[in-house]
Structure 1
Amino acid sequence: MKQKVIITDAVDQACATMLETKGIQAEVRLKLSKDELKAILPQYEGWIIRSGTKITADLIEAATNLKVIGRAGVGVDNVDLDAATRRGVLVMNSPDGNTLSTAEHTCAMMQSLARHLPQAHASLKSGAWERNKFNGTEIFGKTLGVIGAGKIGRAVAERMRGFGMNVLAYDPMLNHAVAERLGIALVSLNELYAQSDIITVHTPLTDETNGLLNRETFAKCKKGVLVVNCARGEIINEADLLAALESGQVGGAALDVYSTEPPSPHLRPLIEHPNVVATPHIAASTKEAQFKVAEEVTAELIEALQGRSVRTSVNSFAIRMAARSEVQSFLKLAEKLGQVAGQLMDGSLQKVVVRCMGDVPKRYSELLSLAVMRGILSKWHSYVNYINASVIAHEMGVVFEEQRSDDAG
């Protein structure tokens, strides 16, 4: 019987073509209600989405045969990762496909903002000739502050350095040696706010980044700072941004993303502000990017459905590691030991200690520890796997300790 994959957002035809070539049935089902989705989800082992579909815990519960979710794009904040992990559903993205398109759009937004291009365009289209009204600013010699120096942030920095900008960056994951090679000066957030003429954000949406740019942070910026957001709408407090625009503390904003999409009526004053350049979440909307993200996520999803290793999972390194041949025998042994321990237990499970000795076990200690936990928990949970073992243990209040030893035996 053919495996089936549901596609609930508009993606490149490459998705369906690649799946069918591998003998996997692809079904495109767009604009279904939540109840309609719940009724059909048990048919599918795979699910491909873009940003339009929000996969909630109740949908994951309804998808009783679901093994893998593929996000054609980078951000996975529209997927309940905790619920997916709890059910042992692998979630993967396509982190590389839209990097260039998003970076190019960010740079275009930046220059449009600095030179008032959309406003001048609209004025001329209306029949006016207002050369003196649209007096812009050069970006050469100005300072660009990049919040989040991942692939897209670095690509933006590289391109804007070509325009003669000085580039600062804040990213706790980037070390100074790498930043120096990229021609980027690593600074604190407060230093970035104080020194930047233009600020662009390229972070995922997390508890830490939600509302990162707000009334307090705008007050730390240069008066008239320009702000660009092609990442996630919620990273900027939109009400505070509108207030900062009206006061002149922020000189202009270029926005491709919004806290609600399509934007709700309360966002119209921000979008319609004369110093705002706004686009409808199209940074990754190029034919090249859409093909690349579709191809990338589909190739990975096929690998996962066929039981092979994947490289873009976002909720488990374990599946990527488990496919390595040198660890297979150790995995089987670790799981068997866990099963034996579970059978020998008398009373409630409070703590598990896994000690790994020898070269190979030490290198895969975290994965082998998950295998032990999977074996133990299989006594109580039939659906436990490498993805959800640690989550289930935590929910059970089990203390889990992993030890490594240089002793060979």
Structure 2
Amino acid sequence: MLKILATDGIDKSAVKELEALGHEVHEQFYEPEELKEALKNYDVVVVRSATKIREPIIDAAAEGGKLKMIIRAGVGVDNIDVKYAEGKGIKVRNTPNSSSASVAELVLAHMLALSRFVGISNVTMRNGEWNKKKYKGIELAGKTLGLVGFGRISRELAQKASALGMKIAYTNRSGAKDEYPEFTFMELDELLKNSDFVSIHTPAMKDGKALMDSEKISLMKDGSYLINCARGGVVDEAALLDAIKSGKLAGAGIDVFQEEPTKNKELLDHPNVSVTPHIGGSTNEAQMRIGEEVVEVIKSL
């Protein structure tokens, strides 16, 4: 029997299946200092984005000698010091196949909201304004969507956006130009200059700097849109806001922030910005798939 701690919640069906396998599952969020002590009593910890597993917590868990595995219930593992944990003999796994569709759909939701003024219309109409003439939008069909990074989520998005009639350009770290002949490979700078919408799909930079800083944003096509449903910090929020205020960019869709919960009120309140509170994987279907993957990972332990 394994003792399993789910610090940020887990789908009920996964809990039932794990318990049916004879394991003990506890769902409880702990602050960092409390988590150090708690992990000494568990074989497995399952986290989402809210819980950070950093070196001091790993040291405490390793000292306890019980923790065998950290599972990120989601795709990115930026909130876990992976190499450090593995160096201490603690395995780290994620659920890479579970939330691709839900994140891709959220990107599309932001693109549609921005292109047709859906978000700001919800605000102004409730304030008694009828801005029919002001909100002349654009259609997604025929526009170029530039995908920075071309992993599972990005490829899912490419298929969905193609179905809406969008042209797809992509860039990736491997530089593999012929792997996806149905789409157009471009180097990053070329992609930024030629895309009507740019969607980021990369992990956080190793040096902690923003991939999309003021220099990269300045390369983007005038009047284009930037979407970030990937990682907070990948986009320089100050540079992004400056570009929107100056009219360089028409707007932005943001699900992830440099600090969460974000205190960047000026960015949140800008009428040309569509925002959501880090909900890329927050669908019933994605959480069920995540739970299923977590169960399979634990079975392999």
Tell me whether the two structures share a fold, i.e. TM-score over 0.5: yes
1:37 — aligned with what? 35
1:175 — aligned with what? 176
State how far apart, in whole Å, the 2-side matches of 1:91 and 1:126 are: 49
- The Cα RMSD (Å) is 1.4
1:60–1:209 Cα change, 3 Å: closer
Overall identity of the aligned pairs, in %: 36
1:24 counterpart = 2:31: no
Gaps of 5+ in 1: 305-409
State how far apart, in whole Å, the 2-side matches of 1:174 and 1:294 are: 33
How big is the shift at 1:208? 6.7
Query: Contact (CA 8 Å) 1:70, 1:298: kept in 2 or not?
Result: no
1:225 — aligned with what? 224
1:210–1:293 Cα change, 3 Å: farther
2:70 — aligned with what? 69
1:137 — aligned with what? 138
State how far apart, in whole Å, the 1-side matches of 2:209 and 2:285 are: 30
Letter in 2 for 1:172: R
> Mapping of 1:2-401 within 5 angstroms?
2-30=1-29, 32-63=30-61, 64=64, 65-173=66-174, 175-180=176-181, 183-207=182-206, 210-264=209-263, 267-304=264-301
State how far apart, in whole Å, the 2-side matches of 1:115 and 1:71 are: 35
Query: Contact (CA 8 Å) 2:197, 2:227: kept in 1 or not?
Result: yes
Query: Contact (CA 8 Å) 2:205, 2:211: kept in 1 or not?
Result: no
Letter in 2 for 1:87: K
How big is the shift at 1:209? 7.9
How big is the shift at 1:284? 1.2
TM-score by length of 2: 0.95
State how far apart, in whole Å, the 2-side matches of 1:209 and 1:198 are: 24
State how far apart, in whole Å, the 1-side matches of 2:31 and 2:222 are: 46
Letter in 1 for 2:33: D
Letter in 2 for 1:302: K
1:174–1:155 Cα change, 3 Å: farther
Query: Contact (CA 8 Å) 1:194, 1:221: kept in 2 or not?
Result: yes
Letter in 2 for 1:52: A
User: Which has more helix, going by share of residues?
Assistant: 1
**Corresponding residue SS for 2:212:** coil
How big is the shift at 1:82? 2.3
Gaps of 5+ in 2: none
State how far apart, in whole Å, the 1-side matches of 2:208 and 2:58 are: 26
How big is the shift at 1:274? 1.2
Query: Contact (CA 8 Å) 2:39, 2:45: kept in 1 or not?
Result: no
Count of residues in Structure 1 that have an aligned counterpart in Structure 2: 298
Which range moved further: 139-148 or 33-42? 33-42
**Corresponding residue SS for 2:238:** helix
1:164-218 Cα deviation digits (max 9, x unpaired)? 21111001336233210xx210110111011111100111113278411111011
Letter in 2 for 1:127: G
How big is the shift at 1:221? 1.3
**Corresponding residue SS for 2:233:** helix
State how far apart, in whole Å, the 1-side matches of 2:54 and 2:173 are: 30
Q: Larger radius of gyration, structure 1 or 2?
A: 1
TM-score by length of 1: 0.71
Query: Contact (CA 8 Å) 1:149, 1:174: kept in 2 or not?
Result: no
**Corresponding residue SS for 2:299:** helix
Query: Contact (CA 8 Å) 1:203, 1:209: kept in 2 or not?
Result: no
